[in-house]
Amino acid sequence: MFSFIEHYIWLIPLLPLLGAATNLLIGRRLSHTAVNVIAVGSISISFILSVLVYIHLISLPVNERHFVDTVYTWIGLGSFQVGLSFLVDPLSTVMILVVSGVGSVIHLYSVGYMHDDKRYSRYFGFLNLFAFAMLLLVLSNSILLMFVGWEGVGLCSYLLIGFWFEKIENARAGMKAFVVNRIGDFGFIVGFILLFTSMGLKTGTWTLDFGVIKSNINLIPVSVLTIVGIMLFVGATGKSAQIPLYVWLPDAMAGPTPVSALIHAATMVTAGVYMVARMNFLYVLAPDALRVIAIVGALTAFFAATIGLVQNDIKKVLAYSTVSQLGYMFIGVGVGAFSAGIFHLMTHAFFKALLFLGAGSVIHAMSGEQDIRKMGGLAKKLPITTSTFIIATLAITGVPGFAGFFSKDDILYNAYISPYGGKFVWALGVTGAVLTAFYMTRLVILTFYGNPRMDHHTAEHIHESPKTMTIPLIILAILSVIGGYIGMPEAFGVHNVFAEFLSPVFASNFNLPEGSISLEWMLMGVSVLAALLGIGLGYYFYAVNTELPDKLAEKFHTTYTWLLNKYYVDEFYLKYIVGGVMKLKDILALFDLGIIDGAVNGAAKLGRKLSEFDGAFDRVVVDGAVNAVGDGIISAGSILRKLQTGLVQNYLIFAIIGLAILLSFVLL
């Protein structure tokens, strides 16, 4: 029906780009209203266009839900062509809907949250720029263009984390995010260049387009594919905060809260998961790479959850929760259940964005306080915030009926039955679910319930947030509830609509084994039990026996300190990795000073010696010669002047002798 949209795909990333350009260049002279209209309007229109794309896509038959729109050829080097071309298929449609939809909601929220910031237009400019980069990333038809978007979101992440750069820690956090991302990007670049060259050398096709790579992929040896897969995943660990490159995400909480919601919950961090899903045709041919992904994801999920248990900053808890949930997504794609991973990506976007926006609302109400030990009893004063926050918590813990239940359960079930996962991965996932439920319950109880622990001054300023902030909360809350129903498992007797929608993308050469329905019900029960156990423990620890946490903290003091200090990973990195680089820097500086400067100075000394020698030569030899000539002439003169006696008779003698000599020639 909306087939015209096939030729206007490029509008979807372009509109936020134009909004960014306008707001960054002339935004300072515009009123807040104008900035709002430009920023929120551009991404909202992108969302509407994404909906049109979706509607058009489902009107096509299942096998034909795939088209490419090329705007122009960006690189043309003989047989290597990269075009500014966009790929629309079910996967990218899901992604653009999530990015533009959640993005629009968060843009709206930012209007209220940042209303008295002094760099208002710049904030929205960066936010739109980020939307452009992310949409470019998910819509691109070649790895190279995706990498452009990949770098773009990294850049915007840096710009927005360090937005309040007057405090040096915020600037440092921005730099940390960028540098750690770059380390991951190095792996990504190695990966795709290896893919490019091996494919080019083997098949003679030099390309980075997904479709062409997909058709030629089985000509490349599995060992090469495994390495490519792992290197690409290294990039994903950087972007999506997995072990070992997750360390930037907790520090990134230094940025404004809507930024954390958009970038570090809903969109940028999901780029890694999207990449693995997009390159599924590669990964299914390299099973070892998939196993690595699954194990890393599982470990991260568990590891981050343990840290989140004891954090006291509301945003840090949510940050570690994000890392942990991303681990789940990688478990999903790592065991081959690509649609499950994407499904969890979507639901996580809803409830994690809601959690962050809710936290922002709490911080706003608490006049900037972020320590949950100083909160409490906010439920009465912030009703909308509290209720949406609780809805999100129920979603994330996997309580049945909410979105998170379906997606998490899908992942855990596939982890159990998949040959790339196994029971270890599943066990880690279940344990992580218990921990997730525990720390989320702890967070809710300490923040919203109990006796108020804040000081009097702050208590008086507590107020519910304005409508621009609460309406997004409500929208996201609704999505957190109903968003899961499109992915209901087969066990319920219905089709998994979501998986069916995505199947053309993943279907070609991979099939997960089918498990039995009863197994599915059993595993589902285990996950529900895990969630309820976590919630119950949390309730007990923090609502019933409130002394217990402190007593346990004292008793297991070492463990508690380790958890509180994030296993000292940052300190380890600083000392050994950063320290190692610094030592390398010193060695190279030594080389530079010693050898290079030495060479330069040596050349200068040599030049000086040469000129001294030259000067000496000049003085002794040349001047000597000149002086000798002069002295010779003077001596000759002083001898010859004796001829001038002044006596005429002498002159006559000379004349006669001269005449004699002349005549002797004539006469003789």
Tokens (6 digits) for 321: 């929760």
CB of 650 to another protein, least distance (A): 6
Residue owning tokens 């773009």: 152
Q: Spell 448-465 as b/e; 16+ CB within 10 A means b.
A: bbbebebeeebeeebebb
* CA–CA separation, 160 and 124 (whole Å): 10
Give me 393's structure tokens: 């918590």
Q: How far is the CB of 610 from another protein (least distance, A)?
A: 48
Amino acid at 398: G
- Closest distance to another protein from the beta carbon of 647 (Å): 6
Distance (Å, whole) CA 84 – CA 14: 12
Q: Which residue has the tokens 């843009």?
A: 107
Residue in the block written with tokens 């996932």: 429
Select 639 or 647, whichever has its Cβ closest to another protein: 647
Q: Give the closest residue to 307 by CA, choosing from 295, 299, 317.
A: 317
SS3 assignment for 401-457: CCHHHHHHHHHHHHHHHCCCCCHHHHHHHHHHHHHHHHHHHHHHHHHHCCCCCCCHH
Q: What does the alpha-carbon distance between residue 368 and residue 314 come to, in Å, rounded to a whole number?
A: 11
| Shortest spacing between CB 630 and another protein, in angstroms | 20
Of the two residues 522 and 657, which places its CB atom closer to another protein in the complex? Answer: 657
For the CB of residue 642, give the shortest distance to another protein in the complex, in Å.
10
Of residues 591-650, which lie at the interface with another protein (CB under 8 A)?
Answer: 641, 644-650
In the block, which residue shows the tokens 């000599």?
Answer: 661
Rounded to 5 degrees, what are φ and ψ at 76?
-130, 100
Nearer to another protein, 451 or 664 (CB): 664
Shortest Å, Cβ 611 to another protein: 45
For another protein, give the closer residue by CB, 4 or 665. 665
Among 235, 334, 333, 342, residue whose Cα is nearest residue 288: 334
Cβ distance to another protein smaller for residue 77 or 666: 666
Let me know: does 403 contact 480? Beta carbons within 8 Å: yes
Question: Least distance in Å: CB of 668 to another protein?
Answer: 9
Shortest distance (Å) from residue 637 CB to another protein: 11
Residue located via tokens 């984390």: 161
In the complex, minimum distance from the CB of residue 665 to another protein, in angstroms, rounded to a whole number: 12
* Peptide linkage before 400 cis (omega within 30 of 0): no
Q: Which is nearer to another protein, 627 or 645 (CB)?
A: 645
Considering CB under 8 A, how many residues would be counted as binding another protein?
16
Query: Between β-strands 80-88 and 67-77, what pairing exists: parallel, antiparallel or unpaired?
Result: antiparallel
Minimum separation from the CB atom of position 628 to another protein (A): 25
- Of the candidates 326, 340, 124, the one whose C-alpha atom is nearest the C-alpha of residue 245 is 326
Query: Given the complex with another protein, which of 544 and 667 has the nearer CB atom?
Result: 667
CB of 654 to another protein, least distance (A): 9
* Single-letter amino acid, residue 106: I
Q: Which is nearer to another protein, 518 or 649 (CB)?
A: 649
CA-to-CA distance for 255 and 269, rounded, in angstroms? 15
Residue 63 vs 649, nearer CB to another protein: 649
Residue (77 or 648) nearer to another protein, CB = 648
- Of residues 648-667, which lie at the interface with another protein (CB under 8 A)? 648-650, 652-653, 656-657, 659-660, 663, 667
Nearer to another protein (CB atom), residue 77 or residue 647: 647
CA distance 235 to 237: 5
Nearer CB in complex with another protein: 596/663 = 663
Sequence-separated (6 or more) residues with CB below 8 Å from residue 344 = 325, 328, 329, 332, 404, 407, 408, 410, 411
CB of 657 to another protein, least distance (A): 6
Q: Distance (Å, rounded) from C-alpha 434 to C-alpha 238? A: 26
Report which of 425, 413, 395 is spatially closest to residue 526, judged by C-alpha positions. Answer: 413
Nearer to another protein, 451 or 644 (CB): 644
Site string for another protein, 486-525 (x = CB under 8 A): ----------------------------------------
Min. distance of Cβ 629 from another protein in angstroms? Answer: 23
User: Token pair of 320, please?
Assistant: 């570690």
- Amino acid letter, residue 99: V
Cβ distance to another protein smaller for residue 168 or 640? 640
CA–CA distances in Å: residue 310 to residues 256, 386, 397, 667 = 23, 21, 17, 134
Q: What angle do CA 350, 300, 223 make, to 5 degrees?
A: 110
Give me the 322-341 binding string for another protein, x by CB under 8 A, dash otherwise: --------------------
Q: How far is the CB of 633 from another protein (least distance, A)?
A: 16
> What's the CA gap between 373 and 274, in Å, rounded?
37
> Which of 525, 658 has the CB closer to another protein?
658
Closest approach of another protein to the CB of residue 662, in Å: 10
Contact status, residue 388 vs residue 371, Cβ threshold 8 Å: no
Q: For binding to another protein (CB under 8 A), which residues are involved?
A: 641, 644-650, 652-653, 656-657, 659-660, 663, 667
